[in-house]
A = this chain, B = another copy of it.
Amino acid sequence: MRRLRTAFIAGCLALGAVPALAQDKATIERLNDAWTAAFNKGDAAAVAALYTEDAHVLPPGADMVKGRSAIEAFWRQAAQRMGEAKLTTLDVQPLGPRAAREIGTVTLKTKSQPPQEISGKYAVVWRKVGGKWKLATDIWNTNK
């Protein structure tokens, strides 16, 4: 048992990034859950708080949005037209100790009648600011 534990610890030390990556992925998924929970109840301020102060959002069909307050206004307007957002993380790539790139898929439903499902894919650059992971760059598009 002790030998197994030693081997496990040695393995972790040798692999180095693997446990950190798993932890970062779990953290990002937890933050995505917070993102969708906030968005789906129309709480744009809580969505915007998940971004860095100087974040960039690049939405399809609209100009780039810079900075947390503009991002809040953007998501407030979007939440009037869409809801039921779901985010699925496909890949997290660490970029040093304070940055990571996430790729995932998103589905949303329009609030029109009948509701339409929108599905797309996204890339997010996360940055660790003051010990907390925040969305720094957020861009997406649709497959069709």
Chain A residues near B (Cβ < 8 Å): 56, 58-64, 91, 93, 95-99, 101, 103, 121-123, 125, 127, 136-137, 139-144
Contact = CB atoms under 8 A, between A and B. Distances in A.
7 contacts: A56-B123, A61-B144, A63-B143, A64-B103, A93-B137, A95-B125, A122-B139
A88 B92 CA distance: 27
Q: How many identical subunits does the complex contain?
A: 2
Nearest to A99: B95
Contact of A101 (B60, B137, B143, B144): B137
Given A96-B98, A103-B56, A140 B137 contact: no
A121 B58 contact: yes
